[in-house]
């Protein structure tokens, strides 16, 4: 089975269903989970190193809570985790 739609865990799916409180039938349709972690350097640089926020396959990451966010270096780690045994089933 192929994945045709990625959906935020708290938002509306691309097919119109609501994933904030999904019914059991929609939970059974989950085939994979996308995860991202953002690492920030511990040392602040004297000058701004970037003006572009890091991004992942879900979009840009909002770092505006820290006014000096551009003075740090960032690395985004991301992966897709297939739900075990589900991709081979007829769910």
* Residue extents of the structural domains in the chain: 31-82
Between the alpha carbon of residue 21 and those of residues 26, 38, 74, the distances in Å are 10, 27, 33
- Residue 67 in tokens: 């006014």
Average pLDDT, the chain: 78
pTM over 0.85: no
Render each residue's pLDDT in the chain as its tens digit; 91 residues: 566 777 766 666 666 666 667 777 777 777 888 888 999 998 988 888 888 888 887 778 888 888 888 898 899 999 988 887 765 655 4
H or E element: which one contains 61? none
């Amino acid at each position: 089975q192929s994945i045709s739609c990625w959906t935020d865990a708290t938002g509306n799916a691309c097919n119109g269903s609501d994933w904030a409180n999904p019914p059991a039938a929609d939970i059974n349709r989950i085939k994979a989970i996308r995860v991202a972690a953002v690492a920030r350097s511990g040392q602040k640089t004297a000058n701004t190193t970037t003006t572009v926020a890091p991004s992942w396959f879900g979009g840009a990451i909002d770092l505006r809570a820290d006014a000096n966010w551009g003075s740090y270096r960032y690395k985004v780690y991301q992966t897709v985790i297939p739900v075990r045994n589900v991709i081979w089933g007829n769910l």
